[in-house]
Amino acid sequence: MITNMEQIKSQLEKQGIKPTYQRLRILEFLISAGNHPNADTIYENIAKVIPTMSRTTVYNTLSLFVESALVHGITITGADVRYGIGEANHHHFLCKKCGKIIDIEVHCPFADGVTKEINGHQIQEIHGYFKGICKDCIQS
Amino acid sequence: MITNMEQIKSQLEKQGIKPTYQRLRILEFLISAGNHPNADTIYENIAKVIPTMSRTTVYNTLSLFVESALVHGITITGADVRYGIGEANHHHFLCKKCGKIIDIEVHCPFADGVTKEINGHQIQEIHGYFKGICKDCIQS
DNA sequence: TCCATGTTTGTAATCATTACAAATTGAAAT
DNA sequence: ATTTCAATTTGTAATGATTACAAACATGGA
Protein backbone atom coordinates (compact mmCIF):
# COMPACT_ATOMS: atom_id res chain seq x y z
CA MET A 1 0.00 0.00 0.00
CA ILE A 2 2.92 2.37 -0.60
CA THR A 3 1.50 5.25 -2.57
CA ASN A 4 3.77 8.18 -2.95
CA MET A 5 2.91 11.27 -4.88
CA GLU A 6 5.25 10.42 -7.75
CA GLN A 7 3.39 7.19 -8.47
CA ILE A 8 0.06 8.95 -8.34
CA LYS A 9 1.33 11.71 -10.59
CA SER A 10 2.50 9.23 -13.22
CA GLN A 11 -0.84 7.45 -13.08
CA LEU A 12 -2.54 10.68 -14.08
CA GLU A 13 0.00 11.47 -16.77
CA LYS A 14 -0.40 8.01 -18.21
CA GLN A 15 -4.07 8.88 -18.80
CA GLY A 16 -3.23 12.25 -20.33
CA ILE A 17 -4.61 14.10 -17.29
CA LYS A 18 -2.68 17.12 -16.09
CA PRO A 19 -1.59 16.34 -12.52
CA THR A 20 -2.80 19.41 -10.67
CA TYR A 21 -2.52 19.62 -6.91
CA GLN A 22 -6.25 19.05 -6.30
CA ARG A 23 -6.35 16.09 -8.68
CA LEU A 24 -3.35 14.50 -6.98
CA ARG A 25 -4.94 14.95 -3.58
CA ILE A 26 -8.28 13.50 -4.67
CA LEU A 27 -6.69 10.44 -6.24
CA GLU A 28 -4.41 10.00 -3.24
CA PHE A 29 -7.37 10.16 -0.89
CA LEU A 30 -9.31 7.62 -2.93
CA ILE A 31 -6.39 5.22 -2.89
CA SER A 32 -5.77 5.54 0.83
CA ALA A 33 -9.44 5.61 1.91
CA GLY A 34 -10.26 2.20 0.53
CA ASN A 35 -13.86 2.20 1.77
CA HIS A 36 -15.47 3.84 -1.26
CA PRO A 37 -16.28 7.36 -0.06
CA ASN A 38 -18.87 9.59 -1.71
CA ALA A 39 -18.15 13.00 -3.24
CA ASP A 40 -18.94 14.87 -0.05
CA THR A 41 -16.67 12.77 2.15
CA ILE A 42 -13.88 13.33 -0.35
CA TYR A 43 -14.57 17.06 -0.33
CA GLU A 44 -14.60 17.30 3.48
CA ASN A 45 -11.28 15.51 3.76
CA ILE A 46 -9.45 17.36 1.01
CA ALA A 47 -10.76 20.68 2.32
CA LYS A 48 -8.71 20.11 5.45
CA VAL A 49 -5.57 20.21 3.31
CA ILE A 50 -6.73 22.63 0.60
CA PRO A 51 -9.01 25.16 2.29
CA THR A 52 -10.08 26.69 -1.03
CA MET A 53 -11.21 23.35 -2.45
CA SER A 54 -14.62 23.48 -4.06
CA ARG A 55 -17.23 20.77 -4.22
CA THR A 56 -17.54 21.39 -7.96
CA THR A 57 -13.89 20.52 -8.43
CA VAL A 58 -14.46 17.23 -6.64
CA TYR A 59 -17.37 16.38 -8.93
CA ASN A 60 -15.50 17.50 -12.05
CA THR A 61 -12.43 15.54 -11.10
CA LEU A 62 -14.38 12.40 -10.27
CA SER A 63 -16.12 12.52 -13.67
CA LEU A 64 -12.74 12.93 -15.32
CA PHE A 65 -11.31 9.96 -13.43
CA VAL A 66 -14.33 7.78 -14.20
CA GLU A 67 -14.09 8.61 -17.91
CA SER A 68 -10.51 7.40 -17.99
CA ALA A 69 -11.42 4.33 -15.91
CA LEU A 70 -8.97 5.37 -13.21
CA VAL A 71 -11.93 5.30 -10.84
CA HIS A 72 -15.35 3.70 -10.86
CA GLY A 73 -18.59 4.89 -9.35
CA ILE A 74 -21.06 2.53 -7.76
CA THR A 75 -24.71 3.21 -7.01
CA ILE A 76 -25.28 0.58 -4.39
CA THR A 77 -26.76 2.83 -1.71
CA GLY A 78 -29.45 4.50 -3.78
CA ALA A 79 -28.68 7.80 -2.05
CA ASP A 80 -25.29 8.73 -3.48
CA VAL A 81 -22.52 7.55 -5.76
CA ARG A 82 -19.56 5.92 -4.03
CA TYR A 83 -16.14 5.93 -5.65
CA GLY A 84 -13.37 3.35 -5.75
CA ILE A 85 -10.05 2.84 -7.47
CA GLY A 86 -9.71 1.13 -10.83
CA GLU A 87 -12.21 -0.43 -13.14
CA ALA A 88 -15.10 -2.21 -11.47
CA ASN A 89 -13.98 -5.71 -12.43
CA HIS A 90 -14.78 -6.89 -8.94
CA HIS A 91 -18.03 -6.83 -6.99
CA HIS A 92 -19.05 -4.83 -3.95
CA PHE A 93 -20.47 -5.52 -0.54
CA LEU A 94 -22.41 -2.80 1.32
CA CYS A 95 -22.74 -3.16 5.08
CA LYS A 96 -26.24 -2.07 6.00
CA LYS A 97 -25.10 -1.20 9.51
CA CYS A 98 -21.93 0.84 9.10
CA GLY A 99 -22.28 1.81 5.43
CA LYS A 100 -18.81 0.57 4.54
CA ILE A 101 -18.29 -0.84 1.06
CA ILE A 102 -15.89 -3.75 0.65
CA ASP A 103 -14.47 -5.16 -2.58
CA ILE A 104 -15.48 -8.76 -3.26
CA GLU A 105 -13.86 -11.19 -5.67
CA VAL A 106 -16.30 -13.71 -7.09
CA HIS A 107 -15.86 -16.05 -10.02
CA CYS A 108 -18.51 -17.16 -12.47
CA PRO A 109 -18.98 -16.58 -16.22
CA PHE A 110 -20.94 -13.40 -15.55
CA ALA A 111 -18.76 -11.91 -12.85
CA ASP A 112 -15.64 -12.55 -14.89
CA GLY A 113 -17.05 -10.69 -17.87
CA VAL A 114 -16.87 -13.68 -20.17
CA THR A 115 -20.47 -13.24 -21.21
CA LYS A 116 -20.88 -10.34 -23.63
CA GLU A 117 -24.45 -10.89 -24.66
CA ILE A 118 -27.68 -12.08 -23.01
CA ASN A 119 -31.00 -12.53 -24.83
CA GLY A 120 -29.70 -10.31 -27.64
CA HIS A 121 -28.74 -7.44 -25.35
CA GLN A 122 -25.14 -6.30 -25.63
CA ILE A 123 -23.44 -6.19 -22.23
CA GLN A 124 -20.85 -3.48 -21.57
CA GLU A 125 -20.73 -3.41 -17.79
CA ILE A 126 -21.43 -5.85 -14.98
CA HIS A 127 -21.99 -4.75 -11.41
CA GLY A 128 -22.51 -7.19 -8.58
CA TYR A 129 -23.85 -5.70 -5.36
CA PHE A 130 -24.06 -7.70 -2.17
CA LYS A 131 -25.76 -6.24 0.88
CA GLY A 132 -25.71 -7.47 4.45
CA ILE A 133 -23.78 -7.13 7.69
CA CYS A 134 -20.00 -6.96 7.51
CA LYS A 135 -17.64 -9.10 9.57
CA ASP A 136 -16.84 -6.25 11.97
CA CYS A 137 -20.47 -5.39 12.63
CA ILE A 138 -21.46 -9.01 13.28
CA GLN A 139 -19.01 -9.18 16.15
CA SER A 140 -19.99 -5.93 17.83
CA MET B 1 -50.44 -11.50 -18.15
CA ILE B 2 -54.10 -11.36 -17.11
CA THR B 3 -54.20 -9.06 -14.15
CA ASN B 4 -57.63 -8.09 -13.03
CA MET B 5 -58.35 -5.91 -10.05
CA GLU B 6 -59.58 -8.81 -7.95
CA GLN B 7 -56.25 -10.59 -8.22
CA ILE B 8 -54.36 -7.45 -7.34
CA LYS B 9 -56.66 -6.80 -4.42
CA SER B 10 -56.07 -10.24 -2.97
CA GLN B 11 -52.33 -9.82 -3.38
CA LEU B 12 -52.49 -6.79 -1.12
CA GLU B 13 -54.78 -8.46 1.39
CA LYS B 14 -52.45 -11.44 1.55
CA GLN B 15 -49.77 -9.05 2.79
CA GLY B 16 -52.09 -7.42 5.31
CA ILE B 17 -52.20 -4.20 3.29
CA LYS B 18 -55.53 -2.44 3.03
CA PRO B 19 -56.42 -2.36 -0.68
CA THR B 20 -57.19 1.31 -1.18
CA TYR B 21 -57.93 2.66 -4.62
CA GLN B 22 -54.56 4.40 -4.99
CA ARG B 23 -52.66 1.32 -3.82
CA LEU B 24 -54.55 -0.88 -6.27
CA ARG B 25 -53.78 1.50 -9.12
CA ILE B 26 -50.10 1.75 -8.25
CA LEU B 27 -49.67 -2.01 -8.04
CA GLU B 28 -51.65 -2.48 -11.23
CA PHE B 29 -49.47 0.03 -13.04
CA LEU B 30 -46.28 -1.63 -11.83
CA ILE B 31 -47.49 -5.02 -13.03
CA SER B 32 -48.56 -3.77 -16.43
CA ALA B 33 -45.61 -1.42 -17.04
CA GLY B 34 -42.96 -4.11 -16.84
CA ASN B 35 -40.06 -1.76 -17.61
CA HIS B 36 -39.25 -0.72 -14.04
CA PRO B 37 -40.56 2.85 -13.85
CA ASN B 38 -39.38 5.34 -11.24
CA ALA B 39 -41.64 7.06 -8.71
CA ASP B 40 -42.29 10.06 -10.92
CA THR B 41 -43.32 8.00 -13.95
CA ILE B 42 -45.71 6.09 -11.73
CA TYR B 43 -47.09 9.35 -10.37
CA GLU B 44 -47.59 10.88 -13.80
CA ASN B 45 -49.47 7.87 -15.06
CA ILE B 46 -51.71 7.36 -12.05
CA ALA B 47 -52.49 11.07 -11.94
CA LYS B 48 -54.24 10.65 -15.29
CA VAL B 49 -56.73 8.32 -13.59
CA ILE B 50 -56.75 9.85 -10.09
CA PRO B 51 -56.32 13.61 -10.55
CA THR B 52 -55.88 14.20 -6.81
CA MET B 53 -53.04 11.70 -6.56
CA SER B 54 -50.07 13.01 -4.64
CA ARG B 55 -46.41 12.24 -5.15
CA THR B 56 -46.07 11.57 -1.44
CA THR B 57 -48.67 8.81 -1.69
CA VAL B 58 -46.63 7.19 -4.45
CA TYR B 59 -43.49 7.25 -2.32
CA ASN B 60 -45.35 6.05 0.79
CA THR B 61 -47.01 3.24 -1.12
CA LEU B 62 -43.79 2.12 -2.78
CA SER B 63 -42.03 1.93 0.61
CA LEU B 64 -44.94 -0.11 1.91
CA PHE B 65 -44.77 -2.49 -1.05
CA VAL B 66 -41.00 -2.86 -0.77
CA GLU B 67 -41.28 -3.67 2.96
CA SER B 68 -43.66 -6.51 2.21
CA ALA B 69 -41.47 -7.67 -0.71
CA LEU B 70 -44.36 -7.20 -3.12
CA VAL B 71 -42.05 -4.86 -5.02
CA HIS B 72 -38.32 -4.28 -5.19
CA GLY B 73 -36.37 -1.12 -5.81
CA ILE B 74 -33.20 -1.07 -7.86
CA THR B 75 -30.54 1.64 -7.91
CA ILE B 76 -28.94 0.83 -11.22
CA THR B 77 -29.16 4.31 -12.73
CA GLY B 78 -27.56 6.29 -9.93
CA ALA B 79 -30.13 9.03 -10.45
CA ASP B 80 -33.33 7.46 -9.18
CA VAL B 81 -34.83 4.26 -7.79
CA ARG B 82 -36.63 2.07 -10.30
CA TYR B 83 -39.36 -0.31 -9.18
CA GLY B 84 -40.33 -3.81 -10.28
CA ILE B 85 -42.67 -6.56 -9.23
CA GLY B 86 -41.70 -9.24 -6.74
CA GLU B 87 -38.54 -9.95 -4.87
CA ALA B 88 -35.33 -9.21 -6.74
CA ASN B 89 -34.31 -12.83 -7.17
CA HIS B 90 -33.36 -12.07 -10.75
CA HIS B 91 -30.87 -9.62 -12.19
CA HIS B 92 -31.39 -6.46 -14.21
CA PHE B 93 -30.17 -5.04 -17.47
CA LEU B 94 -30.15 -1.25 -18.02
CA CYS B 95 -30.10 -0.03 -21.59
CA LYS B 96 -27.81 2.99 -21.71
CA LYS B 97 -29.58 4.28 -24.79
CA CYS B 98 -33.31 4.04 -24.03
CA GLY B 99 -33.15 3.69 -20.24
CA LYS B 100 -35.31 0.59 -20.22
CA ILE B 101 -34.64 -2.01 -17.54
CA ILE B 102 -35.08 -5.66 -18.43
CA ASP B 103 -35.19 -8.66 -16.09
CA ILE B 104 -32.37 -11.12 -16.62
CA GLU B 105 -32.18 -14.72 -15.41
CA VAL B 106 -28.65 -15.87 -14.74
CA HIS B 107 -27.45 -18.94 -12.91
CA CYS B 108 -24.37 -19.25 -10.74
CA PRO B 109 -23.87 -19.87 -7.02
CA PHE B 110 -23.93 -16.14 -6.29
CA ALA B 111 -26.85 -15.18 -8.49
CA ASP B 112 -28.94 -18.04 -7.15
CA GLY B 113 -28.44 -16.91 -3.58
CA VAL B 114 -26.78 -20.14 -2.50
CA THR B 115 -23.85 -18.28 -0.99
CA LYS B 116 -24.81 -16.70 2.31
CA GLU B 117 -21.39 -15.62 3.48
CA ILE B 118 -18.24 -14.24 1.86
CA ASN B 119 -15.03 -13.47 3.75
CA GLY B 120 -16.97 -13.44 7.01
CA HIS B 121 -19.55 -10.92 5.78
CA GLN B 122 -23.15 -12.05 6.08
CA ILE B 123 -25.01 -11.67 2.78
CA GLN B 124 -28.68 -10.72 2.85
CA GLU B 125 -29.23 -9.38 -0.66
CA ILE B 126 -27.66 -9.90 -4.05
CA HIS B 127 -28.15 -7.49 -6.93
CA GLY B 128 -26.72 -8.08 -10.36
CA TYR B 129 -26.72 -5.09 -12.69
CA PHE B 130 -25.82 -5.39 -16.35
CA LYS B 131 -25.48 -2.29 -18.48
CA GLY B 132 -25.24 -2.00 -22.24
CA ILE B 133 -27.39 -1.63 -25.33
CA CYS B 134 -30.63 -3.55 -25.51
CA LYS B 135 -31.71 -5.70 -28.42
CA ASP B 136 -34.16 -3.09 -29.72
CA CYS B 137 -31.62 -0.26 -29.64
CA ILE B 138 -28.94 -2.32 -31.42
CA GLN B 139 -31.22 -2.71 -34.43
CA SER B 140 -32.27 0.91 -34.74
C1' DT C 1 4.73 40.68 -21.16
C1' DC C 2 0.61 39.17 -23.38
C1' DC C 3 -2.45 35.72 -24.83
C1' DA C 4 -4.94 31.45 -25.06
C1' DT C 5 -6.42 27.61 -22.91
C1' DG C 6 -7.37 24.70 -19.24
C1' DT C 7 -8.57 24.58 -14.32
C1' DT C 8 -10.71 25.97 -10.18
C1' DT C 9 -14.07 28.26 -7.62
C1' DG C 10 -18.63 29.94 -5.72
C1' DT C 11 -23.31 30.54 -6.38
C1' DA C 12 -27.54 29.35 -8.04
C1' DA C 13 -30.48 25.91 -10.07
C1' DT C 14 -32.30 21.22 -10.51
C1' DC C 15 -34.16 16.89 -9.31
C1' DA C 16 -35.37 12.96 -6.40
C1' DT C 17 -36.79 12.15 -2.05
C1' DT C 18 -38.38 12.97 2.77
C1' DA C 19 -40.63 15.51 6.69
C1' DC C 20 -44.55 17.10 8.44
C1' DA C 21 -49.04 18.55 9.52
C1' DA C 22 -53.67 19.33 7.87
C1' DA C 23 -57.53 17.21 5.51
C1' DT C 24 -60.00 13.16 4.31
C1' DT C 25 -61.70 8.57 4.56
C1' DG C 26 -63.75 4.47 6.41
C1' DA C 27 -65.01 1.23 9.65
C1' DA C 28 -66.45 0.27 14.35
C1' DA C 29 -69.13 1.69 18.37
C1' DT C 30 -72.92 4.07 20.25
C1' DA D 1 -77.72 7.84 11.55
C1' DT D 2 -74.02 10.03 14.33
C1' DT D 3 -69.78 10.04 16.68
C1' DT D 4 -65.22 8.64 17.13
C1' DC D 5 -60.70 7.07 16.16
C1' DA D 6 -57.08 5.46 13.47
C1' DA D 7 -55.35 4.91 9.02
C1' DT D 8 -54.66 7.11 4.70
C1' DT D 9 -54.02 10.74 1.55
C1' DT D 10 -52.66 15.20 0.32
C1' DG D 11 -49.89 19.56 -0.37
C1' DT D 12 -46.19 22.25 0.91
C1' DA D 13 -41.84 22.95 2.55
C1' DA D 14 -37.29 21.11 3.51
C1' DT D 15 -33.26 18.29 2.48
C1' DG D 16 -29.36 16.45 0.06
C1' DA D 17 -26.83 15.10 -3.96
C1' DT D 18 -25.62 16.74 -8.18
C1' DT D 19 -25.20 19.91 -12.20
C1' DA D 20 -25.05 24.45 -14.70
C1' DC D 21 -22.75 28.33 -15.32
C1' DA D 22 -19.82 32.19 -15.38
C1' DA D 23 -16.14 34.60 -13.14
C1' DA D 24 -11.47 34.19 -11.29
C1' DC D 25 -7.14 32.04 -11.55
C1' DA D 26 -2.99 29.64 -13.23
C1' DT D 27 0.28 28.18 -16.70
C1' DG D 28 3.02 27.67 -20.61
C1' DG D 29 4.10 29.38 -25.19
C1' DA D 30 4.59 33.33 -28.70
DSSP secondary structure of A45-98: HHHHH-TT--HHHHHHHHHHHHHTTSEEEE--SSSS-EEEES---SEEEEETTT
Residue segments in chain B with a per-residue pLDDT below the cut of 50: none
Q: What is the pLDDT of residues A86-126, one digit of tens each?
A: 877 799 999 999 999 999 998 888 778 788 999 999 999 99
Beta bridge partners of B85: B71
**Which DSSP letter does residue A129 get?**
E
Note the residue count of chain A: 140
Tell me which of A115 and A19 has the higher pLDDT.
A19
- pLDDT (mean) for A42-50: 97
CA distances from A87 to A35, A73, B48 (A): 15, 9, 44
Would you call A78 and B76 a contact, using CB atoms and an 8 Å cutoff?
no
Share of chain A above pLDDT 90, in %: 82
Chain B closest CA to A6's CA: distance in Å? 33
Q: So what's the pLDDT on residue B70?
A: 96
> Which helix (H) or strand (E) element contains residue A14?
helix A5-14
Q: How many CB atoms lie within 10 A of CB A90?
A: 15
- pLDDT (mean) for A22-39: 95
Coil, strand, or helix at residue B86? coil
> Which helix (H) or strand (E) element contains residue A101?
strand A101-104
Q: What is the pLDDT of residues B84-108, one digit of tens each?
A: 998 778 999 999 999 999 999 988 8
Q: Which residues of A touch B110 (CB under 8 A)?
A: 106, 108, 111, 128
**Which DSSP letter does residue B51 get?**
T
Query: Whole-angstrom distance between the N-terminal and C-terminal Cα of chain A?
Result: 27
> Which helix (H) or strand (E) element contains residue B78?
none
Taking the CA of residue B11 and the C1' sugar atom of nucleotide C11, their distance in angstroms comes to: 50
Q: So what's the pLDDT on residue A111?
A: 78
Domains of chain A: 5-83 (1.10.10.10), 89-139 (3.30.1490.190)
Q: How many CB atoms lie within 10 A of CB B99?
A: 15
Q: What angle do CA A53, A1, A43 make, to 5 degrees?
A: 15
Question: What pTM does this model have?
Answer: 0.91
In the predicted model, is pLDDT for residue A1 greater than 80?
no
Chain A closest CA to B91's CA: distance in Å? 9
Taking the CA of residue B135 and the C1' sugar atom of nucleotide C30, their distance in angstroms comes to: 65
Distance CA A50, CA A24 (A): 12
* Selection from B91, B88, B43 nearest residue B70 by Cα: B88
Tell me which of A128 and B2 has the higher pLDDT.
A128
